[in-house]
């Protein structure tokens, strides 16, 4: 609701950058999973970002690898959000997940993040989440995990315009979108893959909430 109201940009902004982190980490970690190299990522003041990777040494053909990496960034927030929401079902799993998330943020800050805004926003989240873990309060940790999970999933909603975009301009250079990258490496059109990403994200969200509320 806050995203639809004016004058709440100050509240939206850090979570918009967090959504960018989920997105770019999705690209980079997908590259690592298929045998490639995650070089570094950058997060910009306007909420955009980019992940630099190499598929040298990948055990998959280049066209499949590039398509998977492109999809990894688009599905990264939905997958992460669904895991966070499902883990909030019990105190033990939420406690473990919160600490794993903090650890991953610290790891990304040390190894991969190479921009001022990325360092600033992720350092802030690391400190806040670490302080929450110190309280060892069950309800607080569960609420935190649910909130971050929902924020992660909703960042997919924020990138709907990008999903249904064929190309865009960055620093005076025309670049293709992730959905167009999938289409060029596989088959179909960018809007076809955008619909697939949206449907998969909705399914993951539905299943995670279904698991969370199951008796």
Domain-located, residue 5:
no
pLDDT at 5 over 80: no
Residue 1 lies in a domain: no
pLDDT score at 138: 87
Report the distance separating Cα 203 and Cα 5, nearest Å.
27
Residues contacting 28, CB < 8 A, separation 6+:
38, 39, 41, 51, 53, 112
Does residue 4 lie within any of the structural domains? Answer: no
pLDDT band for 187, please (50, 70, 90 cuts): very high
**127 within domain boundaries:** yes
- Residue range of the domain that includes 132: 12-213
Q: Specify the number of domains making up the chain.
A: 1
- Please check whether residue 18 lies inside any domain of the structure: yes
Residue 215 has pLDDT above 80, yes or no: no
Residue 189 lies in a domain: yes
The DSSP annotation for 67-117 comes to HHHHHHHHHHHHHHHHHHHHHTTSHHHHHHHHHHHHHHHHHHHHHTB-SHH
Looking at the domain assignment, is residue 190 inside a domain?
yes
Nearest Cα to Cα of residue 3 among 174, 122, 155, 128 = 155
Cα-to-chain-centroid distance, residue 130: 20
**With the C-alpha atoms ordered 53, 41, 99, 2, is the resulting torsion angle positive or negative?**
negative
Q: What is the mean pLDDT of the chain?
A: 90
Distance in angstroms (rounded) separating the CA atoms of residues 67 and 189: 13
- Residue 63 — very low, low, confident or very high, per pLDDT cuts 50/70/90? very high
Decide if 3 is inside a domain.
Answer: no
């Amino acid at each position: 609701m806050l995203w639809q109201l004016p004058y709440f940009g100050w509240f939206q902004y850090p979570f918009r950058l967090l959504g960018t982190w989920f997105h770019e980490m999705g690209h980079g970690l997908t590259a690592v999973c298929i045998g490639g190299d995650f070089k570094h990522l950058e997060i910009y003041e306007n909420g955009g970002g980019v992940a630099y990777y190499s598929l040298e040494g990948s055990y998959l053909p280049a066209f499949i690898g590039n398509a998977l990496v492109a999809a990894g960034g688009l599905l990264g927030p939905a997958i992460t959000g669904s895991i966070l929401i499902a883990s909030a079902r019990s105190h033990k799993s939420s406690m473990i997940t919160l600490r794993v998330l903090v650890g991953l943020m610290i790891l990304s800050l040390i190894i991969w993040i190479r921009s001022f805004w990325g360092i600033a926003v992720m350092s802030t989240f690391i400190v806040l989440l670490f302080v929450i873990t110190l309280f060892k309060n069950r309800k607080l940790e569960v609420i935190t995990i649910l909130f971050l999970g929902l924020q992660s999933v909703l960042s997919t909603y924020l990138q709907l315009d990008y999903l249904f975009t064929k190309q865009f301009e960055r620093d005076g250079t025309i670049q293709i979108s992730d959905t167009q990258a999938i289409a060029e490496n596989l088959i179909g059109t960018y809007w076809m893959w955008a619909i697939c990403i949206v449907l998969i994200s909705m399914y993951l969200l539905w299943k995670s909430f279904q698991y969370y509320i199951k008796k």
